[in-house]
Structure 1
Amino acid sequence: MQTGARVWKFGSGLQAPLLYRSGVLYAASKTGAVYAINASNGKKVWASQAASQGAVQLVTDGERLLVNNGDIQTYGLKDGKLLWRVHEENGFIQPIVAEDGLVLGQNSVSGAYTYDILHAYDAVTGKQLWKAANHDLPAAVKDGTVISQREGTLVEAVDLTSLDILDGKTGKVLKTVIYNPQNVNLKDQGPGAGNFPAWYSGNRIYLNAGNKLYSYPADADPAKTTRDTYSVESVGFRDLVYAAGPYDERILFTNNSGLYGVKTTDKSTVYYGGLRNDIARFDLIGHGLYIIQTDGRLIAMHLCTAIPVVQLKTGGNVFGPSLSVNGMIIVQSKGKVQAFKEPDSLKMK
């Protein structure tokens, strides 16, 4: 990490994605073989006998490695033995979720119209426990329940953000919580006017309304509690939309050419200026906002002060996520990996 010198090399024809867990690296090859590799010395721990061609996601769950390639294959984490396999005719195109003894996947079914189905499987046996039509991948899995956002279809609109709390074992709807932060009058609005993507972070739930982000206490009745609203309407740009957060007491909004932060403490606005080109991507690391422009220039700013701290010319225009490992910032561009020491002022103490 400090010098960029190659430590070891393993295999051929290996493909992304890669997964690292507890000193072991997991990877699949073009032929579908799955490997476990000792991350310290590059030696093979095991190779699977059962193939998983075209893997798009690797995830661990306790003593199991799950490979998503449209189907779900589950291997023993210690020996690579195939434990079970799930096949759905239309395949799992979204990332699967493995949590609390459940494996959850979503696929789409087309007929007179297209709709999504959320599937739940037992993580040990692979047995399907239940499926729920018109439900999204879970916003949360906790206390034996699956919290899933209800989806609208061509024949059944969902006008307001609606979260169903499903029994994890049966899929039965135990409770429905409906959010209406904009006080939408359904008689005056079109279908789905108040249905916003929702997710949990910490002990709060967030709703993304594009140019606004709403937040509620996770377990409170939304009709009986005070919500928080974050926006940058005061700066006069109507095309700014939610981009990231909450992170380091900031909510971030962008229109790809400008980037603004809203403080979660007092709702005031912070402008991250000095950009000369559009934003290709940005990453939040420590107290740092690492912005890569379309011209390949990386600018690292302090999230709280908006002061630029360091710049780097990558020479590329296709970028992977910037990472922080052992005090080094790793920057990925097409065909190249670069690294520099994480500035002290941007480290999270």
Structure 2
Amino acid sequence: MLAAVLVGGISLPAAQAAAPVVSYNVPASPAIKAPIQKPLWTASFDKNTNSVVTDDGILFTFNGGKLVALNANNGKKLYTYGSRLRPDVAHQKGTVYGVTEAGQVYALQAKTGKRLWQTAAGVTDSGSPRVIGDTAYVTKGNAIIALDAATGKQCWKAIEEQSEFAGGVSMEADGIVYASYMVQGALTSVQLDAFDKKTGKKLWKQFRQYPPLAVRNGLVYSLRDEYPFDDADPKRELNINVFDAKTGVEKETQTYSWSLGALPPYTRDNNGSVILNGNDLYIATDSAVMKYDITAYKKDAKPLQKWSVPNVGKSLIGSVHDNKIFFSKEASGAITGMKLANGQTFGFQTDNQPVQTDIYGNGVYIAQSDGVLHGYNLQTAAPAFTVNTGSRQYGPTLLSGNTLIIQAKDTGKLIAVQVPKTLR
């Protein structure tokens, strides 16, 4: 029976505190304390835009389906171009390339916005071309189309019949174009195709092979897709197949093996990751980073160097910079690093979930889901400044000279700030 209390002559049941079914607390990260950096300028842009900045300091973005060229240093509008354009562009050597919603590919003089050429409608379903040297590559369905970058004239069209999806051109080397497709069958995996650059003739293809790590001296180095493998087996290996660039004939398989140091159950995340810097091949396992010379492979040879690095759930990312390598951790979005000189690992303290991280020079720029971006010193990992963005989603942070440009996609705003001297 409930007890009662007398309030103003009225008898009421006594209140009882409710006990939670679950009560769990995690302390918040300490707040980052760094000076607030005020914007140099801001500008509006379409939220799904992938903006780019050229070596000449011109920022290309889109607003209302139009291409907008801005001075990256002061935000001044230089010109606008077109309408109903897909919100992505590529640029090379003073020319900017894009695609209309109707599938027309266009090329403009970057400084003036003068149109150099435009193809007929329906040429491509790409967002923008991939421009390499004198060729602009676009896709349509499972076809790759090569356009003369100077005139827009179609040079050739190559189709991968076994793929239902568009391929992606990864690189050119010695007159050969390399492209990757996802091919479905009993096993769905990536496929590497090689085409003659002049004619588009398919020279060869290799199933379960990733885009080339490198093409050297007539040889193509490509990482093999190891999936599926036995998750319960602690033994792991990475295989790099070496192919003749002209014929696709396999010349060598480089096998790098190790045993997992962790306890089961094992996951695909434990299968290792690689980056190549010159001839230096870095392989990250669940517990170490190993360095080999990719051009001097010997079976079962010990690594040239080995660092003990707890690496569960992390993957090598980017490239070697300032004698450091970097890892991404998908679960948290954090980027960490390791100094090659001594194997010392480091990270950057955040006070909310990282969404976008970019590293330029001595600056590390981390945009968080709470609407702020922090700039850090790469050498010391100390925070140097904070920018209030008001956004939860971001495009890549851009850099032009000493001007950092934040793409705050939720709010459709470009925010430019001055980079401190210590981060340059």
TM-score by length of 2: 0.72
Alpha-carbon separation, structure 2, partners of 1:140 and 1:116: 17
Could you say which residue in structure 2 is the equivalent of 1:338? 415
Is residue 287 of structure 1 aligned with residue 362 of structure 2?
Answer: yes
In the TM superposition, residue 30 of structure 1 has moved relative to its aligned partner by 0.8
Is residue 129 of structure 1 aligned with residue 206 of structure 2?
Answer: no
Could you say which residue in structure 1 is the equivalent of 2:146? 74
In the TM superposition, residue 154 of structure 1 has moved relative to its aligned partner by 5.1
Is residue 99 of structure 1 aligned with residue 172 of structure 2?
Answer: yes
Aligned in 2, Cα 1:50/1:123: closer, same or farther, shift over 3 Å? farther
Is residue 323 of structure 1 aligned with residue 394 of structure 2?
Answer: no
Aligned in 2, Cα 1:94/1:287: closer, same or farther, shift over 3 Å? farther
Could you say which residue in structure 2 is the equivalent of 1:6? 77
Alpha-carbon separation, structure 2, partners of 1:265 and 1:52: 50
The residue type paired with residue 88 of structure 1 is E
Bigger mean CA offset, 72-81 vs 13-22: 13-22
Is residue 139 of structure 1 aligned with residue 213 of structure 2?
Answer: yes
SS in 2 for 1:345: helix
Aligned in 2, Cα 1:120/1:308: closer, same or farther, shift over 3 Å? same
Is residue 48 of structure 1 aligned with residue 119 of structure 2?
Answer: yes
* Deviations 1:1-56 (CA, angstroms, capped at 9, x unpaired): 22111100011111143111000000011101000011101110111136333204
Bigger mean CA offset, 92-101 vs 159-168: 92-101
Alpha-carbon separation, structure 1, partners of 2:337 and 2:229: 39
Alpha-carbon separation, structure 2, partners of 1:210 and 1:161: 13
In the TM superposition, residue 336 of structure 1 has moved relative to its aligned partner by 1.1
* Deviations 1:298-336 (CA, angstroms, capped at 9, x unpaired): 111111111211110111111111111122111111111
Ranges of 4+ aligned residues in structure 1 off by more than 6 Å: 155-158, 188-194
Could you say which residue in structure 1 is the equivalent of 2:241? 164
In the TM superposition, residue 66 of structure 1 has moved relative to its aligned partner by 0.9
Alpha-carbon separation, structure 2, partners of 1:307 and 1:282: 15
Once the two structures are superposed, the pairs formed by residues 82-121 of structure 1 within 5 Å of their partners are 82-89=154-161, 90-93=163-166, 95-100=168-173, 101-121=175-195
In the TM superposition, residue 174 of structure 1 has moved relative to its aligned partner by 1.2
Contact 2:104–2:119 (8 Å) recurs in 1: yes
Bigger mean CA offset, 291-300 vs 130-139: 130-139
Alpha-carbon separation, structure 1, partners of 2:225 and 2:108: 41
Alpha-carbon separation, structure 1, partners of 2:206 and 2:96: 34
SS in 1 for 2:103: coil
Could you say which residue in structure 2 is the equivalent of 1:203? 279
Gaps of 5+ in 2: 1-71
The residue type paired with residue 148 of structure 2 is G
Alpha-carbon separation, structure 2, partners of 1:189 and 1:210: 13
Is residue 39 of structure 1 aligned with residue 110 of structure 2?
Answer: yes
Q: Which one has more relative contact order, counting CA pairs under 8 Å at least 6 apart?
A: 2
Is residue 272 of structure 1 aligned with residue 348 of structure 2?
Answer: yes
In the TM superposition, residue 121 of structure 1 has moved relative to its aligned partner by 0.5
Alpha-carbon separation, structure 2, partners of 1:246 and 1:256: 22
Alpha-carbon separation, structure 2, partners of 1:231 and 1:276: 28
Rg (Cα) greater in structure: 2
Aligned in 2, Cα 1:271/1:153: closer, same or farther, shift over 3 Å? closer
Alpha-carbon separation, structure 2, partners of 1:44 and 1:130: 37
Is residue 312 of structure 1 aligned with residue 384 of structure 2?
Answer: no
In the TM superposition, residue 167 of structure 1 has moved relative to its aligned partner by 0.7
Q: Work out which of the residue numbers 226, 239, 250 in structure 2 matches 1:173.
A: 250
Amino-acid identity (%): 28
Could you say which residue in structure 1 is the equivalent of 2:18? none
The residue type paired with residue 203 of structure 2 is L
The residue type paired with residue 300 of structure 1 is G
Could you say which residue in structure 1 is the equivalent of 2:97? 26
Aligned in 2, Cα 1:303/1:30: closer, same or farther, shift over 3 Å? same
Alpha-carbon separation, structure 1, partners of 2:255 and 2:421: 44
Alpha-carbon separation, structure 1, partners of 2:276 and 2:407: 29
Aligned in 2, Cα 1:192/1:85: closer, same or farther, shift over 3 Å? same
SS in 1 for 2:422: helix
Contact 1:32–1:54 (8 Å) recurs in 2: yes
Aligned in 2, Cα 1:259/1:66: closer, same or farther, shift over 3 Å? closer
Gaps of 5+ in 1: none
Aligned in 2, Cα 1:191/1:167: closer, same or farther, shift over 3 Å? farther
Contact 2:269–2:313 (8 Å) recurs in 1: no
